[in-house]
């Protein structure tokens, strides 16, 4: 359905008629096939796709976004309170990502469910190496914010639904991509309906449709994959000690672990007086061992306690958890003619250090700026030369983040005692030597790309 209307459309004819009223359909070949002319087509309406559409709209650029799933019906008047105290997934937003949401005027809506990271503690289980980053020492407001995925998605969707430059189409199954010298045609059908394929025409197609991207496969873009042989257990826990806005990175023989601060159930995570006891947990275990961590709360809490000691206090409650196999997936190329692959379709990374989504946001921000520059000079927004320039401009940042994530994963799980000694010496050196922390902090906050 076309989501930024107030009418539930029951069949293809109604969809087409409604689109005509909104001046998006430029040509109707027959009553079952609509060809719409748009500057930018976006496949994939998750957090990256919605954010990219909003970035474009901030520059006055219209887009049509197709999402394969059904969007929920929500209203600004809906209850904002968290319905499940311990049931949520969360994302660590870097300082740069927060700045991007500030640019498009959305951060004020997001921050009530976000929690500042004022300090980061790094250590290895059973070793002497320790390091800490502190916002006062680095002279920053924070290193980033941890936000509930459900809240982020809700606010992005609401903003897109109320943005006249964005047309949302959900339940859309992309079936073909056709490129010509002057544009792209995207064919799709609606899930659960027997009807001929619909078509959209645009100057450029941006695929934000996830790790197993349909568009990437239709474009015959290959991938390079690496299986870490690990599974991430993700969830929310409660501790008896307030988090005090401290993120804890801990390395164990199984893999990297993280405990991140979260907001109180009804509080603002940026309130200096908040005493938050909720924490987001990313626990990495060898593949095949996830079942007991998912099903046995007592075992999960006991394992966390052993890994973290008393750094986070006592782990006293655990909520529903999800398990996610960890595989690095890198597209062999990110631009094909007038098509761009972005987000997890371009690079799916290990969650260590929480860099994946933030890297995607920097990609989206740069492409939106480059497209805006094309519009301002009256040039083709989907010019393949421009898109190749974008791809080249982003490679340095992407490669740096990928190398960093892999170095941390492999470096801190290698059992060799010599390597273990070296990494702990490196942690101590990082903590003590001048001029190193500011450089690392700058990269971690996404302020240098």
Would you call 89 helix, strand, or coil by DSSP?
coil
Residues forming CATH 3.50.50.60 domain(s) in the chain? 12-76+154-224+329-403
Residues 155/72, Cβ–Cβ less than 8 Å: no
- State the Cα angle at 425 between 423 and 430, rounded to 5°: 90
Q: Residues with Cβ < 8 Å from 311, sequence gap 6 or more?
A: 121, 123, 248, 250
Tokens of 281: 């947990």
pLDDT, one tens digit for every residue, the chain (449 residues): 333 333 232 333 343 334 333 333 322 233 233 344 458 999 999 999 999 999 999 999 999 999 999 988 777 766 555 545 666 789 999 999 999 999 999 999 898 889 999 998 888 776 656 777 788 877 788 888 999 898 899 999 999 999 999 999 999 999 999 999 999 999 999 876 666 679 999 999 999 999 999 999 999 999 999 998 989 999 999 999 999 999 998 877 766 788 999 987 666 666 665 668 999 999 888 899 999 999 999 999 999 998 888 989 999 999 989 999 999 999 999 999 999 999 999 999 988 777 899 999 999 999 999 999 999 999 999 999 999 999 999 999 999 888 878 777 766 665 556 555 565 555 555 555 666 655 555 655 555 65
Burial class (CB in 10 A: 0-12, 13-18, 19+), 409: buried
Q: How far is Cα 157 from Cα 153, in angstroms, rounded to an integer? A: 6
For residue 182, the model assigns a pLDDT of: 92
Q: Dihedrals φ, ψ of 234, to 5°?
A: -120, 135
Residues forming CATH 3.30.9.10 domain(s) in the chain? 90-148+228-327+414-444
Work out whether strand 339-341 and strand 198-207 pair parallel, antiparallel, or are unpaired: parallel
Q: Dihedrals φ, ψ of 358, to 5°?
A: -65, -35
Helix 356-376 with 384-411: angle, nearest 10 deg? 170
- State the Cα angle at 38 between 35 and 43, rounded to 5°: 90
Residues 121/249, Cβ–Cβ less than 8 Å: yes
Q: How far is Cα 321 from Cα 84, in angstroms, rounded to an integer? A: 13
For residue 436, the model assigns a pLDDT of: 60
Q: How far is Cα 109 from Cα 102, in angstroms, rounded to an integer? A: 10
Tokens of 377: 């000079």
Residues 35/26, Cβ–Cβ less than 8 Å: yes
Instruction: Give the CATH class of 12-76+154-224+329-403.
Output: alpha beta
Q: How far is Cα 316 from Cα 374, in angstroms, rounded to an integer? A: 55
CATH fold, domain 90-148+228-327+414-444, is D-Amino Acid Oxidase; Chain A, domain 2 (3.30.9)
Please give the model's pTM, rounded to 2 decimal places: 0.84
Beta bridge partners of 27: 35
Residue closest to 24 by CA, chosen among 15, 127, 32, 422: 15
Tokens 């999402």 correspond to 67
């Amino acid at each position: 359905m076309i989501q930024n209307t107030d009418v539930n459309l029951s069949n293809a004819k109604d969809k087409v008629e409604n689109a005509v009223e909104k001046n998006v359909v430029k040509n109707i070949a027959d009553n079952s096939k609509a060809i719409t002319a748009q500057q930018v087509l976006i496949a994939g309406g998750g957090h990256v796709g919605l954010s990219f559409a909003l970035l474009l709209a901030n520059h006055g650029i219209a887009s049509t976004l197709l999402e394969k799933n059904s969007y929920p019906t929500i209203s600004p008047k809906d209850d904002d309170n968290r319905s499940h105290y311990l049931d949520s997934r969360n994302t660590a937003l870097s300082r740069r990502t927060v700045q991007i949401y500030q640019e498009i005027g959305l951060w004020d809506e997001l921050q009530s469910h976000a929690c500042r990271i004022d300090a980061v503690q790094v250590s290895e289980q059973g070793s002497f190496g320790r390091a800490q980053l502190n916002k006062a020492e680095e002279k920053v407001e924070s290193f980033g914010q941890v936000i509930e995925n459900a809240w982020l998605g809700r606010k992005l969707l609401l903003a897109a639904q109320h943005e006249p430059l964005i047309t949302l189409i959900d339940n859309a199954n992309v079936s073909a991509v056709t490129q010509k010298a002057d544009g792209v045609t995207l064919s799709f059908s609606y899930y659960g309906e027997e009807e001929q394929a619909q078509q959209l025409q645009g100057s450029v197609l941006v695929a934000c449709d996830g790790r197993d991207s349909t568009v990437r496969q239709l474009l015959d873009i290959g991938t390079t994959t690496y299986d870490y042989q690990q599974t991430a257990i993700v969830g929310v826990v409660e501790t008896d000690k307030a988090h005090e806005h401290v993120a804890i990175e801990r390395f164990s023989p199984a893999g990297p672990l993280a405990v991140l601060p979260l907001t109180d159930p009804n509080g603002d995570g940026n309130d200096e007086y908040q005493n938050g006891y909720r924490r987001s947990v990313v626990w990495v275990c060898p593949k095949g061992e996830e079942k007991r961590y998912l099903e046995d709360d007592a075992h999960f809490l006991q394992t966390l306690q052993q890994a973290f000691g008393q750094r986070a206090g006592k782990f006293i409650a655990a909520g529903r958890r999800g398990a996610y196999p960890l595989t690095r997936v890198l597209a062999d190329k990110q631009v094909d003619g007038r098509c761009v692959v972005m987000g997890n379709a371009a690079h799916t990374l290990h969650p260590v250090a929480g860099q994946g989504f933030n890297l995607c946001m920097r990609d989206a921000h740069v492409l939106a700026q480059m497209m805006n520059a094309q519009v301002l000079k009256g040039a083709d927004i989907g010019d393949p030369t421009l898109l190749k320039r974008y791809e080249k401009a982003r490679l340095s940042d992407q490669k740096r983040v990928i190398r960093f994530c892999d170095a941390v994963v492999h470096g801190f799980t290698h059992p060799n005692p010599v390597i273990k000694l070296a990494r702990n010496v490196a942690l101590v050196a990082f903590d003590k030597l001048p001029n190193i922390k500011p450089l690392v902090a700058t990269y971690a906050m996404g302020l240098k790309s």
